[in-house]
Amino acid sequence: MQQITVQQLQQKLEAPGAKPVLLDVREPWEFQICSIAGSTHIPMGQIPARLKELNKDNEIVAICHVGGRSQQVAGFLENQGFKKLYNLQGGVDAWAREIDPKMNKY
């Protein structure tokens, strides 16, 4: 698993070509407050049961509030054979502060 900054993620999302899967692992109430556009929402506790919804060949960026839970999920996915994994440093909190200041914060 690699770490990715919000600036690096923004560049990936703006670049031509295939986009990474944005895997938001926060709880539903958190996801309702704010999320990065295009995110796939699977709460952390549901990841093991919903693994089949994720493609091991896709580039996946795990996202949570500040980066702790997403790092745990990325580590779990790595142990399941996923190779193209990133953890978003600072999570949606950093995204809201540094990329999208209009985004709701909590």
Token reading at 101: 């200041």
> pLDDT tens, 16-30?
999 999 999 999 999
User: pLDDT for 30-72, tens place per residue?
Assistant: 999 999 999 999 999 999 999 999 999 999 999 999 999 999 9
Beta-ladder partners of 60: 21, 85
pLDDT of residue 74: 97
Give the chain's domains with CATH numbers. Answer: 2-98 (3.40.250.10)
Q: Which of 55, 90, 51 is nearest to 71 (CA)?
A: 90
* pTM of the complete model: 0.96
Amino acid 98: pLDDT: 97
Catalytic residue among 60, 64, 92, 94: 64
Q: Is the distance from CB of 89 to CB of 3 less than 8 angstroms?
A: yes
pLDDT at residue 91, rounded to an integer:
98
Q: How far apart are CA 49 and CA 32, in angstroms?
A: 22
How much is the pLDDT for 78? 97
Active-site annotation holds for 64: yes
